[in-house]
Amino acid sequence: MITKKEENRLVIINGTEQTWIEPWGKNSLRVRMTKEAKMDENDWALTEKVEECVPEITFETVDTTDPWYKSEEWAKYHSTGVVSRIKNGKITAIVNPEGWISFVNDKGEELTAEYWRTRDRINRYCAPLRIVGRELKPKNGSSDYSLTARFEAYDDEKIFGMGQYQEKNLNKKGACLELCHRNSQASVPFMISSRGYGLFWNNPAIGTATFATNKTEWVAYSTKKLDYFITAGDTPAELEENYSAVTGRTPMMPEYGLGYWQCKLRYRNQEELLTVAREMKKRGLPIDAIVVDFFHWTRQGDFKFEPRDWPDPKAMVKELKEMGIETVVSVWPTIDERSENFGEMAANGYLVTADRGNSNHMTWMGNTIFYDATHPGAQKFVWDKCKKNYYDNGIRCFWLDEAEPEYGPYDFDNYRYYAGSALQCSNVYPVGYAKGFYDGLKSVGETEIMSLVRCAWAGSQKYGVLTWSGDIYSSFRSMREQLQAGLNMCLAGIPWWTSDIGGFLGGDITDKKFQELLIRWFEWGAFCPVFRMHGERSPWYEREEEFINGVRQLTSGQENEVWSFGEDNYQIMRKYLFIRENLRDYIREGMKTASMNGTPIMRPLFYDFSDDKECWNIEDEYMFGPELLVAPVMEEGATERELYLPAGTSWTDANTGIKYEGGQKVSVAAPLEIIPVMIKEGSGLKIY
């Protein structure tokens, strides 16, 4: 094993294996490893230009009396007893004489270290298991590798971020997470550790991340190299800033993103949608956007309105704009084999292909194949169709659904993209999907861009992505899971996030229990980055199957407007529409901060109060901007709520006006019409 300096990087050479450690932005390092003659040049999400940093690289001979280090046998293969270091600001990587890497902060405290269980003659650690910290194993008969990276486990460590997973825990220590996308699951592999570092797994390959009690292990099933980014900082906010600087920051949120979005499955025609918008205005209710959901089109892959049900989209959009309402239109990446665009897209290689068997990816409402969002030509083709049929009618905000994409089944080993096999690169699909629309909107002069997308990976945020949490169930359990999902998604660098208020599947609007859930979720939604109503709303309308030009038309669920659930519930929802509107200036400032330095408006308590150890344990409260602590009610029948108030400041209950000192737990009243919100001392904000 040899270590040496090459330009501004430290290089570890071990036979055919090369590992590079180099500065990558402020207080950060990038680590790459290959067994190829040349390092794979794909930067994946690390594409942003970062400030130039000159590292300190040093080599120190270890003072050892072990005769092994003086033997001819050792000298043949190793740099005898040399410890190598590369320092960039607050982080230093230390390479021991046997090639193990550990990372320390500017105080000399260990942040994390590779997990090796071999014979370490320097540290006298002997565990002849032959387990190494980084391992590329060639896949027989191919030029690809399986990859495993192992790190030590620490009893005191808590881990946050990693994107959006449907489970209960905010702290991911102890979790085994799929590194793949599914409907309602988005893998965004950036983690923030309570030990003062952040690590981004810069690899879109399918795999797993396991944060076990005995070790941390990252796995990619098929890849070309190891590639990760690690950063150090004194606060979680500093880690988030360093990470967002290298993967990209979200643009400033458009003004229509700050208010209320009305949506349901589904407005079946132009008049139905306009009737709802007119009623909102007639009642004097604030609304910023209304959504035209899926199957408004002639056929999947045609990317245009069905003219019978949507006879004059331009006039519809014009009327909505005059009411101050933005029109959002659903786009699916599914191309029906009977679509007018199918032949041209197939001939040009714009569709995802299969390595074996038939290429159909989804058979719901037609036999369809996903378009290849990793292909620049396919991105432009789809945008050009949407520009002609949507944008030229005045529509500038798109709902990019099915963005995982939602394969049925998720046989990643069978699909192939322009960018490579799905096993190697599938997780970048939603990035390319959003980029195609972002680039298209930019090309026609749009400066305020937002796309509602059902998935994201690292870097998606710079393309104006608003991610929502997919087709979740209507239950209090699901609501609780969405809270941790949203907080971890925001920590993973995707600050625009929302969920379907009330859940998507299974909500019967006549059921009192569902109405209670809906009210609690609506109240919480008013304090989310985007405030958006949506849902299937059982039971579906029973209509005879209808066809237009041989295309089956989709029916829809029950009403989903704020006046659809009874007068008492309407009055509560109306109140929160105006609470959200009154917070517009505050939310706008929070979105400016997200755009400038990556800090999400919705974040766990420890983000603002990292010195308060108890804040690292709180999973059911969060900060909404720097001045509001929000504690959603997520239990059926609850009328009070216990919550923790961070130390170092005092807090005022927005409902009662009672003042409390921080550093304690308190119980507050939480009748159905109240979501507990605490206002930080010195704020001046009024909620109720």
Task: Encode 102-159 in three state secondary structure.
Answer: EEEECCCCEEEEECCEEEECCCCEEEEEEECCEEEEECCCCCCEEEEEEEECCCCCCE
CA 419 from chain center: how many Å? 21
The residue whose two tokens read 């905000």 is: 397
Which residues 6+ apart lie within 8 Å of 248 measured at CB? 45, 47, 48, 459, 461, 462
**401 carries an active-site annotation:** yes
Question: Residue 393 corresponds to which tokens in the numbers above?
Answer: 């009618």
CA atoms within 13 A on the CB side of 476: 15
∠ CA(332), CA(333), CA(338), 5° rounding?
Answer: 95
DSSP string, 282-296: HTT----EEEE-SS-
- Alpha carbon 403 to its chain centroid, in Å, reads 12
Separation between Cα atoms, residue 302 and residue 377, nearest integer Å? 17
Q: In this structure, what DSSP letter does residue 639 have?
A: -
Active-site entry in 227, 302, 401, 608: 401
- CB atoms under 10 Å from CB of 388, counted, come to 12
The helix (H) or strand (E) run that includes residue 317 is: helix 313-322
Q: Which two tokens stand for residue 145?
A: 């590798």
Residues of the chain with pLDDT under 50: 68, 74, 77-79, 122, 124
Catalytic residue among 471, 536, 621, 653: 471
Q: What pLDDT is attached to residue 77?
A: 46
The CA R_g of the chain, rounded to the nearest whole Å, is 27
| Cα–Cα distance measured from residue 3 to residue 6, given in angstroms and rounded to the nearest whole number | 10
DSSP helix/strand/coil, 461: helix
pLDDT in tens, 84-128: 999 999 999 999 988 999 999 999 999 999 998 886 554 545 567
Domains and CATH numbers, the chain: 2-247 (2.60.40.1760), 255-597 (3.20.20.80), 604-680 (2.60.40.1180)
Q: Is 505 strand, coil or helix?
A: strand
Distances (CA, A) of 452 to 239, 333, 337, 471, 645: 26, 14, 26, 14, 34
43 is catalytic: no
Q: Residue 543's pLDDT is what?
A: 78
pLDDT at 544: 78
Which amino acid appears at position 556 of this protein? Answer: S
Give the residue from 429, 253, 437 showing the smallest Cα distance to 330: 437
Active site residue 471: yes
Which of 217, 293, 302, 404 is labelled catalytic? 404
Contact at 8 Å (CB) between 86 and 55?
yes
- Strand, helix or coil at 211? strand
Tens-digit pLDDT profile for residues 266-312: 999 999 999 999 999 999 999 999 999 999 999 999 999 999 999 99
Q: Are residues 402 and 333 in contact, defined by beta-carbon separation less than 8 angstroms?
A: yes
